[in-house]
Amino acid sequence: MTATWNEDDPGVLRLPSGRLVRGRALRRPLPAGAAPDYAVHLLGKRPADVPWESRWLRWPDFRLPGDPAEARAVLREAWERAAAERVEVACGGGRGRTGTALACIAVLDGVPADEAVEYVRRAYDRHAVETPWQRRFVRRFTG
């Protein structure tokens, strides 16, 4: 499979390696265009089924992942798959948890951990990564 996002589509983040990952809010309608090949849903409870492959990572709103080791594994898989697939990362509002996950994926892609939040705020959403503990999670993220 060699599908990628259109870089100009809403929510698409270009990583330094050239990989494209889409962030979005699950409370909003699915954007027009191609569907994801793989999605990571960051929610406190099990999400609704979707017609593409997806993974649920238990992550309550305004909090951190319930299992940080699982989060590292899931985000690493998302980063790896983004080399050749349309990968989407999504939470309810598309900012806090999604921004935190995108910043961690950026760390995996080579962005220094202490710069990853600003990278995602510049390239994805200026309000991404909402809480001090989410920012700390990114700074300490090693993948």
71-93 average pLDDT score: 98
pTM, entire model:
0.96
Question: Residue 37: is its pLDDT beyond 90?
Answer: yes
Question: Residue 21: is its pLDDT beyond 60?
Answer: yes
25-32 average pLDDT score: 94
69-87 average pLDDT score: 97
Contact between 125 and 94 under an 8 Å Cβ cutoff? The reply is: yes
102-128 average pLDDT score: 98
| E strand or H helix at 138 | helix 132-139
The span from the first CA to the last CA of the chain, in angstroms, equals 25
Q: For 12-139, CATH number? A: 3.90.190.10
Domain extents in the chain: 12-139
pLDDT at residue 143, rounded to an integer: 61
